């Protein structure tokens, strides 16, 4: 039943919640790896770092979390630049009117 719940959460893109359930169990290596992957997919980087530290997988912070975090940062900064650019164009039009 727990596995069905976890799969349901993953298929509905509730990866952080699925990671929480997997992290609580820590049954085997597979569930630990899946919990870590769920946290990373959910961009729950603080939880991923804490979980990696608790499970002794500190090397994953540098090899998995850091590159993913940099990509997420780049995407967010591009979205913010785009929003500011759009705002600037609309504000200019409003000033003219």
**Global confidence as pTM:** 0.77
pLDDT (tens digit, 9 = 90+) per residue, 1-26? 888 988 899 999 999 999 999 998 87
Distances from the Cα of 43 to the Cα of 15, 27, 71, 79, 91, angstroms:
9, 23, 11, 16, 33
For the chain, domain boundaries: 2-96
The fraction of the chain above a pLDDT of 70, given in percent, is: 99
* Torsion angles phi and psi, residue 23, rounded to 5: -70, -35
**Cβ(47)–Cβ(64) below 8 Å:** no
pLDDT at 29: 86
């Amino acid at each position: 039943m727990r596995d069905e719940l976890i799969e349901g959460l993953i298929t509905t893109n509730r990866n952080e919640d699925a990671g929480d359930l997997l992290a609580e169990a820590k049954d085997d290596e597979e569930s630990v790896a899946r919990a870590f992957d769920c946290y990373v997919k959910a961009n729950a980087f603080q939880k991923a770092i804490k979980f990696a530290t608790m499970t002794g997988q500190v090397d994953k912070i540098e090899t998995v979390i850091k590159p993913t975090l940099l990509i997420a940062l780049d995407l967010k900064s591009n979205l913010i630049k785009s929003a500011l650019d759009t705002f600037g164009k609309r504000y200019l039009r409003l000033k003219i009117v």
